[in-house]
Amino acid sequence: MRIEQIITILLFSLAIVSCSNDDTNPNDNSMEIKEIKTIAQSSSWKITSFIDSGVDETNHFTGYTFTFNSDGTLEATNGINTYMGTWSVTNGSSNDNSSDDIDFNIFFSSPANFKDDLSEDWDIVSKSSTKIELMHISGGNGGTDTLTFEKIS
């Protein structure tokens, strides 16, 4: 075998080895972010569980319906009171202990329980067409908060 043939075979082999069937960026969460947004916007939701560092505070949100609008606004109403906030789903920061590094962001400026309890960059624990489970680890005391939205049928 001639040296030119050997070099050609080596270069061809190197090209095959360096090629991959997966041309997607492993850090590109855009499809999953789009899916989560679609699920959230598909209906109105209620909070079926809110655990604040081990304390069940679900009753603070009983009777409220949450609507995640496509313009990024979030509406919480119980038929008497209506509170407006914002929401988004984004690539998370690299220091937030999230396995998939996607944040479900909620922000309310008032009332106090909405602002203090719900306004966080939540990690997504699980999602389906009828349930969104979120978790947040507090930076102050290290407590874990969990929040579950369920679709209103």
As a whole number, mean pLDDT of residues 14-25 equals: 48
Question: In this structure, are residues 85 and 150 in contact, taking their beta carbons and an 8 Å threshold?
Answer: no
Of 97, 150, 153, 149, give the one whose Cα is nearest residue 121. Answer: 97
Neighbours of 85 (CB within 10 A): 20
Domains and CATH numbers, the chain: 29-151 (2.40.128.270)
First to last CA, the chain: 73
Which tens digits make up the pLDDT trace of 58-94? Answer: 999 999 999 999 999 999 999 999 999 999 999 876 4
What pLDDT score was predicted for residue 13?
52
What pLDDT score was predicted for residue 26?
52
- Is 46 strand, coil or helix? strand
Confidence of residue 12 (pLDDT cuts 50, 70, 90): low
Element (H, E) at 26: none
As a whole number, mean pLDDT of residues 102-130 equals: 94
> Taken in order 87, 88, 94, 96, is the CA torsion positive or negative?
positive
**For residue 26, with 0-12 CB atoms within 10 Å meaning exposed, 13-18 middle and 19 or more buried, which class applies?**
exposed
Average model confidence (pLDDT) for the chain? 84
Q: Is the pLDDT of residue 18 over 50?
A: no
What pLDDT score was predicted for residue 93?
63
Q: Is the pLDDT of residue 27 over 80?
A: no
Q: Is the pLDDT of residue 98 over 50?
A: no
As a whole number, mean pLDDT of residues 20-26 equals: 48
